[in-house]
Chains A and B, each alone.
Chain A
């Protein structure tokens, strides 16, 4: 087990501190227990990297301790995990694929509005929030070339807008040609997307925008590690025991009637490599 190998590389005091921390997490239950379990099952990176990660956790045990009431050691876990978020194996076989990312429509509309505001002089668009949301709805399944001229600015804005913050998780379809969209046709409903991608922190009953995109050549897809999802998402994240061979993770749908989806993680990128049209998964 990579965890045991990495743990064995720690010096005695680090090992004791780590054990003490993980024991505390395990007995706390909930997210903390799942985080401990995820670390034990980590297979997404080399032993050397995992050793360094475990050493960092051990050294920061005081700030990672569970001290209810409160939402847990989320900020410390994120800060300590930061160097390891994208430290997983390079997901080499999948670099050329079209990746997929689902974002709540209302959330992405806010992202897009910030782009529109911040680039007002070049984009010339100051739409109100409802118009932004309705325009995104109107653009579903519409090719850029077929879009009325007044909407062209939205494509420009989407290309400038980040597809996520910090570590960006993306899915892909393993058994399709490299040019194909990761989203099945007909499009899945919002509940199915939320469940199959394990987007547990999103409230149920909301629409998603489904993006398809390629990664820029200087952005490598990586196998997610336990550090990648941050603290609260530990409860929906499960390490892939076959990650070293498969070179990707698997989502863990809370409702097992949906199949897990392959997933990778990459650094923040804008939407310049989006493959239009956008799609919607409706609630």
Chain B
């Protein structure tokens, strides 16, 4: 339990903590299906944020019960996916990610690795499934993501994003298999600058050099897109040899500066690189 609950949460906390297992199952299911809204802040929202807000202040036994029920609801959905509206499934998956429900990652990875199970699930839910796995991933999951990038091109961008956090060295290698898929290339382009700029200062040049050498092996259009992403984030400054174009260069640099100022580095990269070194 985390410190003193904010006063507005007290009624909701008392209600949740008083629920036995069956009652809690019914309540959580109703929340996910948008049939109940009992917590402060829930009325004008999807259910996830209000539950996330209250959760840290629950007694430990109630927290454990919430975990168990979410696990049960995941099982119920997998057994009968067509009975669940998409929004309710998204809420369930978002909640499992936000609360880091123990065991959820393995169960979802198993689902993702079982084509016959995955085939009966609405395709629009797949990003949510993988986003939940991503949120719960650590370095031990790097093979899952490398494999995914190869098997499902449309998710290669997300795989790269996860790898930049959990296994930066493998992320660079994964670019080699990047398909010419707009979603995948875009996903890599958005994460690539922070992969480079997030490395330790003494390693940045070598990381950039490695990234560029991998980019050089890609099809022209993909390579150009990724180089542009690095240039626009000022990680890579292209040599401009047009003598009368100083103003344009200056404008480009100002633009890039403005963007980089807003770019927050991936927090654990320095540590990961240091460990790798």
Contact = CB atoms under 8 A, between A and B. Distances in A.
Interface string B90-107: 100010010000000000
A11 interface: no
B53 A69 contact: no
Interface string B171-199: 00000000000110011011100100000
Contacts of B46: 110-111, 165
Contact of B134 (A118, A128, A164): A128
B262 A138 contact: yes
A113 B131 contact: yes
A92 interface: no
Contacts of B228: 148-150
B213 to A, nearest CB: 21
Interface stretch (B37-45, B65-73, B240-248): B37-45
A51 B87 CA distance: 37
Nearest to B254: A146
A140 B44 CA distance: 25
B80 interface: no
Given A142-B258, A148-B233, A30 B41 contact: no
A64 interface: no
A153 interface: yes
A128 B8 contact: no
A124 to B, nearest CB: 4
Contacts of B37: 74-75, 78
Contacts of A146: 255, 258-259
B190 A131 contact: yes
Interface stretch (A52-60, A195-203, A209-217, A240-248): A195-203
Interface residues of B, number: 61
Contacts of A129: 97, 131, 134-135
Contact of B157 (A106, A127, A135): A127
B121 interface: no
B44 A165 contact: yes
Interface stretch (A1-9, A173-181, A185-193, A229-237): A229-237
B43 A74 contact: yes
Interface in B4-60: 6, 8, 11-12, 14-15, 18, 36-46, 48-50, 53
Contact of B130 (A74, A107, A126, A235): A126
Contacts of A167: 44
B124 A201 contact: no
A141 interface: yes
A120 interface: yes
A165 B157 contact: no
Contact of B262 (A118, A137, A231): A137
Interface in B215-239: 225, 228-229, 232-233
B262 A110 contact: no
B138 to A, nearest CB: 13
Interface in A103-151: 104, 106-107, 110-111, 113-114, 116-118, 120, 124-131, 134-135, 137-142, 146-151
Contact of B229 (A114, A131, A148, A153): A148
The winner among A72, A104, A148, A202 for most chain B CB atoms within 10 A is A148
B151 interface: no
Nearest to B87: A114
A201 B233 contact: no
A37 interface: no
B249 interface: no
A123 to B, nearest CB: 8
Interface of A: 30-31, 69-72, 74-75, 78, 104, 106-107, 110-111, 113-114, 116-118, 120, 124-131, 134-135, 137-142, 146-151, 153, 164-168, 200-204, 230-233, 235
5 contacts: A69-B18, A71-B39, A148-B229, A149-B228, A231-B43
